[in-house]
Amino acid sequence: MARPNFNVQVAAVRQLTERVREFLLISVDGSPLPSYSAGSHIALHTHSPARGLIVRHYSLVGGADLQDDARDTYRIAVQREDHAGGSAHIHASFEVGTRLQIGPPTNNFPLDRRDQNVLLIAGGIGITPIFSMARSLARRRCD
Ligand SMILES: Cc1cc2nc3c(=O)[nH]c(=O)nc-3n(C[C@H](O)[C@H](O)[C@H](O)COP(=O)(O)OP(=O)(O)OC[C@H]3O[C@@H](n4cnc5c(N)ncnc54)[C@H](O)[C@@H]3O)c2cc1C
């Protein structure tokens, strides 16, 4: 059975680099969003006047530094791609209060919690799932 989508809205926007913008998403009715493991991502559904429905996937960053986000909050970081549709639309139109739908978190790449020594390698925007993995490892005092 298909898992339901969630109605969320943009609660905060932060420019991280010239091309990467962070968005805090909170549930519209204030209820907790599903919990997830480090490395998970969501499908983000949004409508562009030019392209109609756009669905793109974004990793859940999980919090700032070692601090986890509240249970009603997801944090994503979106890199604006040149010539692109989805990320450019998100950068151009998402502001505090923008409403959208997201799918439930999925993890295709979970950490093996038995590992004590872990080497994480990421390039560019690929750091987003690694960031929450690093936080998880630091909290469990793994190397
Ligand atoms: C599991 C998963 C997690 C992800 N996590 C993140 C994340 O945390 N942050 C993030 O930013 N992204 C993430 N992505 C990628 C994200 O889902 C999108 O693919 C990304 O934002 C690009 O979408 P877009 O619609 O902007 O680009 P698209 O329109 O799909 O274009 C894709 C690429 O093609 C190029 N292109 C398109 N049209 C042309 C053209 N006419 N000429 C030349 N080049 C062209 C664009 O420059 C772009 O690089 C993730 C993807 C997956 C699958």
Q: Is any atom of ligand 1 closer than 6 Å to the C-beta of 23?
A: no
Q: Which atom of ligand 1 is found nearest the CA of 129?
A: 8
Q: Is any atom of ligand 1 closer than 6 Å to the C-beta of 56?
A: yes
- Residue whose structure tokens are 């630091």: 138
Q: Is any atom of ligand 1 closer than 6 Å to the C-beta of 16?
A: no
Residues 6+ apart with CB under 8 A from 34: 6, 104, 105
Q: How many domains does the chain have?
A: 1
Is residue 85 situated within a structural domain? yes
pLDDT tens by residue, 47-81: 988 889 999 999 999 988 778 888 889 999 999 99
Q: What is the pTM of this model?
A: 0.94
Is residue 10 situated within a structural domain? yes
Nearest to 53 by CA among 106, 5, 1: 5
Residue-range definition of the domain harbouring residue 115: 6-139
pLDDT tens by residue, 89-114: 999 999 999 999 999 999 998 999 89
Task: Indicate which CATH number applies to the domain containing 26.
Answer: 2.40.30.10
What's the mean pLDDT when you consider all of the chain?
93
